[in-house]
Chains A and B, each alone.
Chain A
Amino acid sequence: EVQLIESGGGLVQPGGSLRLSCSASGFSFSSYAMLWVRQAPGKGLEYVSAINNNGFNTYYADSVKGRFTISRDNSKNTLYLQMSSLRAEDTALYYCVQNWNSDNWGQGTLVTVSS
């Protein structure tokens, strides 16, 4: 069974930083691209970032480009999202998603940016 467990969310002040992690199991992690998708409270879904299976290619939404960095450690079956210069509008539940075609989703980790 595929499991994606996000962690690292919390309350951070505007301008601050946070690193999210996603621990993956139940599939061959190094064979799949991975994505981060977020959902602001009571709102819809927004793609944030993606990384190919070997980590060589990364993609970002314009809204986070230059502030967020996606990475992965295939030896630890873990996906990361380093977030800096955080803004109030980054407040959301962040989901880890398996594969380009969004095969499986984690439970999410909540990031709140507020002073």
Chain B
Amino acid sequence: DVVMTQSPLSLAVTLGQPASISCRSSQSLVYSDGNTYLNWIQQRPGQSPRRLIYKVSNRDSGVPDRFSGSGSGTDFTLKISRVEAEDVGVYFCMQGTHWPKTFGGGTKVEIK
């Protein structure tokens, strides 16, 4: 199985400051169709997961533009340009290129 490694495990950020989460895969996530199926999932406290970013850098509907995704091959990053209180939660990267789909261990974002 493809191993997804996230860092850091947790992140304490001052409101209005940027945050960055790294995700590394044990194999390239480029699929035979040329797409890279790397998603970022947000899970707020007590809520179900919600997809924020799909195919590396595409924001889902309703996701604020302070969230951005980048990367290629095996190295990916989620950035929050200015953290707001509603961004508190756990963020997971997820690969959909290889079977089975696998998730990173999660990064907990909290306010300092």
Contacts and interface: CB of A to CB of B under 8 A. Distances in A.
Nearest to A108: B48
A107 B106 contact: no
Interface residues of B, number: 21
Contacts of B103: 44-47
B77 interface: no
**Interface SS of chain B:** loop
B92 A61 contact: no
Interface stretch (B13-21, B67-75, B94-102): B94-102
A59 B99 contact: yes
A108 B46 CA distance: 11
A95 B50 CA distance: 11
Contacts of A106: 48
**Could you say which of B37, B48, B92 has the most chain A C-beta atoms within 10 Å of its C-beta?**
B48
Contact of A47 (B37, B48, B51, B100): B100
Interface stretch (A9-17, A19-27, A66-74, A96-104): A96-104
B41 interface: yes
Interface of B: 37, 39, 41, 48-51, 54-55, 60, 92, 94, 96, 99-106
